[in-house]
Amino acid sequence: MSDTKATDRKVHSISQVHCSTCSLSSLCLPVSLNLTEMDRLDNIIEKSRPLKKGEHLFHQGDSFSSIYAIRAGSIKSYSLTNQGEEQITGFYFPGELVGFSGFDENEYPISAKVLETTTVCEIPFPRLDELSGQLPELRRQVLRTLSKEVREDQQMMLLLSKKNAEQRIATFLFKLSSRYKARGYSATQFRLSMSRNEIGNFLGLAVETVSRIFTRFQKNGLITVEGKEIELIQLEEIQLLSGDCVAEEDSDARINTNQMD
């Protein structure tokens, strides 16, 4: 990808929230950094203007340069097959990082597209790498993030290979619930920023199957749905349907195929 294109896709920086006062910092940053260390990290981060639905953080094949922390809104990652078909690989929400998968080959193997009005913190990776060498706790946080992606990849392989359609949808809803809860939001009432077709694409299901199972869950009193707003009425029952035991609940669990490829 040319330098011009790489520059074109850069988010425009604006002066906004400092890392030390951001309510999401405990999710994407080491909580043990002191104020001086936090200032050093904050100095390398670029806060974005609001990004509109349909905009991209980066495209598949772009040179790897930055990772992005979601501050508000949501992002989907996807890759294009040889036939030009879109395969969704993950969904990202506030406090989550996207872009690490570009480090290995020095180019992004996926695209990251905005699902709704979104703001991000752009973290140039060369500067993060340099700073991580000076701040051991920051380095450990980077390694923890990479480890989480490996673990979630493994969970996604299990989801797609062993679970039936109903279990996949239940798992998807339960993981979303856990992620929203970890961010201080309601675990039972939230907005689905992705379409039914995008959910089906991600889970390997036809959109008709997704709609049918949502309808079945609603008839059985497990959920209520109004447009994109959803309420999980029987969260424990949804967890049981997912096939996951209570001990496996992970409040930071991500549905990401960088997580879940």
* 73 and 116 belong to one structural domain: yes
* Average pLDDT for 223-230: 95
Residue 202 has which token pair?
A: 């991600």
pLDDT at residue number 219: 97
* Whether residues 117 and 187 fall in one domain: no
**Rounded mean pLDDT of 30-42?**
67
What is the structure's pLDDT at 20? 56
Same domain, 20 and 123: yes
| Arithmetic mean of pLDDT, 163-184 | 92
The CATH number linked to 143 is 2.60.120.10
Domain check: are 133 and 179 in the same one? no
- 142-154 residue pLDDT tens: 888 777 777 877 7
Asked whether the predicted pLDDT for residue 9 surpasses 80, the reply is: no
Tell whether the model's pLDDT for residue 5 goes beyond 70. no
Judge whether 158 lies within some domain.
Answer: no
Q: Give the Cα separation of 39 and 33 in Å (integer).
A: 9
The answer to whether residue 252 sits within a structural domain is: no
Do residue 12 and residue 92 come from a single domain?
Answer: yes
On whether the CB atoms of residues 33 and 40 are closer than 8 A, the answer is: no
Residue 24 falls inside a structural domain: yes
Domain containing 200 equals 164-242
Instruction: Return the pLDDT at 254.
Output: 42
Cβ atoms of 209 and 161 within 8 Å: the answer is no
Same domain, 7 and 109: yes
- Whether residues 39 and 95 fall in one domain: yes
More confident residue, 35 or 152: 152
In a domain, 18, yes or no: yes
* 261, HSE (Cβ side, Cα atoms, 13 Å): 11
Q: What percent of the chain has pLDDT over 90?
A: 49
Q: Of all residues in the chain, what percent carry a pLDDT higher than 70?
A: 80
Q: What is the mean pLDDT of the chain?
A: 82
User: Is residue 104 included in any domain, yes or no?
Assistant: yes
**pLDDT tens digit string along 44-59?**
787 777 999 999 999 9
Query: Where on the phi/psi map is residue 165: left (φ > 0), alpha (ψ -120 to 50), or beta?
Result: alpha
Q: Strand 97-98 relative to strand 66-72: parallel, antiparallel, unpaired?
A: antiparallel
Quote the radius of gyration of the chain (alpha carbons, Å): 18
Q: What is the domain count for the chain?
A: 2
pLDDT band at 140 (very low <50, low <70, confident <90, very high): confident
CB 47 within 8 A of CB 13: yes
Q: Same domain for 37 and 133?
A: yes
| DSSP class per residue in 169-230 | HHHHHHHHHHHHHHTTS-SSEEE--S-HHHHHHHHT--HHHHHHHHHHHHHTTSEEEETTEE
The model scores a pTM over 0.85: no
| Residues 21 and 86 placed together within one structural domain of the fold | yes
Classified as helix, coil or strand, 231 is: strand
Q: Are 89 and 215 in a shared domain?
A: no
pLDDT of residue 34: 63
Residues 139 and 192 reside in one and the same domain: no
For residues 249 and 17, what is the distance between their CA atoms, to the nearest angstrom? 31
Residue 157 counted as domain residue? no
* pLDDT over threshold 60, residue 224: yes
* 131 against 4, higher pLDDT: 131
The pLDDT of residue 133 is: 85
CATH number of domain containing 192:
1.10.10.10
Side by side, which strands form the sheet with 189-191?
A: 189-191, 229-232, 223-226
- Confirm whether 254 is domain-assigned: no
Residue 229 falls inside a structural domain = yes
**114 and 219, same domain (yes or no):** no
